[in-house]
A and B are shown apart, each in its own frame.
Chain A
Amino acid sequence: AQTVTQSQPEMSVQEAETVTLSCTYDTSESDYYLFWYKQPPSRQMILVIRQEAYKQQNATENRFSVNFQKAAKSFSLKISDSQLGDAAMYFCAYMRGAQKLVFGQGTRLTINP
């Protein structure tokens, strides 16, 4: 079964600095999708960024970018110019085709002003 591991339960960063959240996954498939979801305190979970495994180019969304290393099965999220509104739980997730979305345990990100 596919598993997703986020080895950093908590991270903190100074406002305006850059932080990288780690994610590794285990799969024997070659075609799949990877996601980072953000869950702010007492607010709805929203999609931050997604990556198709067949695409070598790393996805970017404004201040958010990923480092996708397919051979290493690694999918880290980089947040540049951190803002107070970035404080949240971040979940890495894996999905193949129409199968279920498998989430990691989450990383709680704190932004220090």
Chain B
Amino acid sequence: ETGVTQTPRHLVMGMTNKKSLKCEQHLGHNAMYWYKQSAKKPLELMFVYSLEERVENNSVPSRFSPECPNSSHLFLHLHTLQPEDSALYLCASSQDRQGWYEQYFGPGTRLTVT
């Protein structure tokens, strides 16, 4: 595997379910990100991890819980979601958080909450 991978690619879950999204980067990067991409809205940054430490949380509801066990893996734990949480969830990584460094994106997980 190369680049940034995400699993699953598609997920349908009920409002009472608990599920997790997984992201893995094979680039040796130090920063990882979760974004939410909804129709007709700009990408929204959810969380940033730098060297496995959460450095940013953009007022995301507590039903989304990130976890970064090491610099290569990032999880997004989901529970008691709402239909408006249906979206494409993108993971990204970069060598460093500084602006010049390109963010590499995964293919995303298409989440549907029923």
Contacts and interface: CB of A to CB of B under 8 A. Distances in A.
Interface stretch (B21-29, B61-69, B103-111): B103-111
Interface residues of A, number: 26
Interface residues of B, number: 22
B94 to A, nearest CB: 9
Contacts of A16: none
B101 to A, nearest CB: 9
B99 A97 contact: yes
A29 B3 CA distance: 32
A33 interface: yes
13 contacts: A33-B100, A37-B105, A45-B105, A46-B105, A47-B103, A50-B100, A50-B102, A52-B100, A96-B99, A100-B58, A101-B103, A103-B43, A105-B42
Nearest to A53: B99
Contacts of B108: 44
A105 B41 contact: yes
Interface of A: 4, 32-33, 35, 37, 42-47, 50, 52, 91, 95-106
B98 A101 contact: no
B42 A47 contact: no
A68 to B, nearest CB: 15
